Amino acid sequence: MDEGFVTIQTYTDTTEAHIAAGLVRSAGIPVHLHGVNHVSANWMLGLAVGIRLQVPVEHEKEARGLLEVEAPLPAPVDTCPACGSPEVATASASRKVSLVLTHALQLPWPFRRDRLHCRSCGHSWPQVRQRAS
């Protein structure tokens, strides 16, 4: 199957290889993932030989162009509503209290993580949980 095909990218992860192949296929370019079944069976082969994304020679330039387009990084999930800083963590005061009570009473005490705390300005607010659709 390698005749007439050229390798345009090599991947170590099967998921990443399938996503890239789907992107190239969506442009109407035939794609062959060489070695994907071997890596699925033994993931260490991904590090040794990798998964080669191959396309016909006549589509090489177009396929490389599709894979070279860089998508912007997504914004951090949680940002402080007061200052906009991405330095956000779960409020840990209740965790410390729970830890002390667990040792003192010898009872498990649930850790509450329903508040967020900004490390930059100190603002604290309730965490909004999104339901899976």
At residue 54, the pLDDT reads: 96
CB under 8 A, 24+ apart: contacts of 15-19: 17/51, 17/53
Tell me the pTM: 0.53
pLDDT digits (tens, 9 = 90+) for 52-110: 999 999 999 999 999 987 655 565 567 888 998 888 887 655 666 667 777 777 766 66
**Cβ neighbours, 10 Å, residue 105:** 9
Q: In terms of DSSP H, where are the helices of the chain?
A: 14-26, 36-41, 44-48, 60-68, 93-105
**Report for 32-36, 39-43, 115-119: range of highest mean pLDDT:** 32-36
Indicate the domain borders of the chain. Answer: 5-68, 74-133
Task: Yes or no: say if 71 and 88 are a contact pair by the CB < 8 Å rule.
Answer: no
* Residue 118 to residue 91: CA distance in whole angstroms: 9
